[in-house]
Amino acid sequence: MMALGVDLGGTKIEAQLFAEDWRLLDRSRVDTPATYPALLQTLLDLVAWADLRAGVPVAVGIGAAGAVNPRDECVLAANLAAHGQPLPTHLSNALARPVTYLNDSRALALSEAVFGAGRPFSSVFALVLGTGVGGGHVRDGHLQTGPSGTAGEVGHISAAAHLVQGLGLPIIDCPCGRRGCIETLISGAGLARLAKAMAGLDLTAPQIVAARASDPALQAVWHVWCALTADLIQTLTLTVDPDCIVLGGGMSDIPEVSMDLTVALARAQFAGFGSPVILRAEGGATSGARGAAHAAWRVAND
Ligand SMILES: [Zn+2]
């Protein structure tokens, strides 16, 4: 069965149609509509495009920011017009077929575990470091999910107290409703916040990354970012002990990020014990579309 994967972002929608051997057959990219009826129609139009291109109804998978609450199927995603709407239900009713809807970090995790950097390993945790921080755990090709639908929302694990208190870092209100989530310190905005708190500097994340080698104050900021992020990876190691961590999102493009995190992670782990290998995602910015398609294909074939 052919599968359509849709990466539903706040500004763009990327749709990719895959053949049964996972060759990319075609793709379509459109702006994300600002109203819910227009968004629903655009997604239905993309499925109609894929059905026509395939000649048969395709399996439909959508990877999007935020989470879906299994209790009411409503989408929790502040930057999407679908926020508070049961989008997966509306789509599957309109299409008269199952629609697989999953968080975009989980879609990237599946894509990287099955097709990308995590291929050689059985237990793969993808950690997406960008505007937000999220992830997903794939074991033997299966995304690990649970009844709450929140597994993988690792950006909302609390930041390590010994680092926050030891360095006098701020405890920030997180948009999720909790306080002191690690995302508020290690996302792109989080890195900027660290520079402000530690050195009084008003710089963006790309400015900090570009200048860190030649500025001792920014070097210190970078090391704290690495220590905080490594502590999160250590939490993942203590819970699911993955073979590898695949880094995605904009901050995974920072030169030497894998190496610097590997050094920081060795310091966070018990002395003498091993840690997961840290790799960068291979699938690029639209890796999530392939993961969403694969999740849908699996539902159709299981
Ligand atoms: Zn949070």
Per residue in 162-203, pLDDT (tens digit) is: 999 999 999 999 988 999 999 999 999 999 999 999 999 999
pLDDT of 287 over the 90 cut: no
CATH superfamily name and code, 117-280: ATPase, nucleotide binding domain (3.30.420.40)
Query: CA nearest 254: which of 218, 286, 292?
Result: 218
pLDDT band at 302 (very low <50, low <70, confident <90, very high): confident
19 CA distance to ligand 1 centroid (A)? 38
pLDDT of residue 14: 95
pLDDT of residue 272: 96
Per residue in 87-145, pLDDT (tens digit) is: 999 999 999 999 999 999 999 999 999 999 999 999 999 999 998 999 999 999 999 99
47 CA distance to ligand 1 centroid (A)? 33
**To 10 degrees, the CA torsion angle through 29, 34, 35, 40?**
20
Query: CA nearest 47: which of 64, 37, 59, 36?
Result: 59
Angstrom distance (rounded) from CA 137 to CA 178? 23
Domain positions in the chain = 3-103+284-301, 117-280
Angstrom distance (rounded) from CA 222 to CA 77? 29
pLDDT of residue 102: 94
Instruction: Name the percent of the chain lying above pLDDT 90.
Output: 89
Mean of pLDDT over the chain: 95
Contact 224/216 with Cβ under 8 angstroms?
Answer: no
DSSP 63: E
Q: Supply the DSSP string of 217-250, one letter for each residue.
A: HHHHHHHHHHHHHHHHHHHHHHHH--SEEEEESG
pLDDT of residue 136: 98
28 CA distance to ligand 1 centroid (A)? 33
72 CA distance to ligand 1 centroid (A)? 21
194 CA distance to ligand 1 centroid (A)? 17
- For the structural domain made of 3-103+284-301, what CATH number should be given? 3.30.420.40
104 CA distance to ligand 1 centroid (A)? 17
What strand order describes the sheet that includes 277-280? 142-143, 133-139, 123-129, 244-248, 277-280
290 CA distance to ligand 1 centroid (A)? 27
156 CA distance to ligand 1 centroid (A)? 4
The pTM of the full predicted model, rounded to 2 decimals, is 0.94
64 CA distance to ligand 1 centroid (A)? 18
67 CA distance to ligand 1 centroid (A)? 13
252 CA distance to ligand 1 centroid (A)? 21
4 CA distance to ligand 1 centroid (A)? 31
Angstrom distance (rounded) from CA 221 to CA 198? 7
Which residues contact residue 5 at a Cβ distance below 8 angstroms, ignoring those fewer than 6 apart? 15, 16, 18, 61, 62, 63, 107, 288, 289, 290, 291, 292, 293, 294, 296
Give the 3-state secondary structure of residue 265: helix
pLDDT of residue 79: 83
229 CA distance to ligand 1 centroid (A)? 15
pLDDT of residue 284: 78
Residues in the chain, total: 302
Contact 16/46 with Cβ under 8 angstroms?
Answer: no
DSSP 27: E
Give the 3-state secondary structure of residue 161: helix
Domain 3-103+284-301 identical in fold to domain 117-280: yes
61 CA distance to ligand 1 centroid (A)? 26
Contact 63/6 with Cβ under 8 angstroms?
Answer: yes
Tokens of 287: 């890796």
207 CA distance to ligand 1 centroid (A)? 25
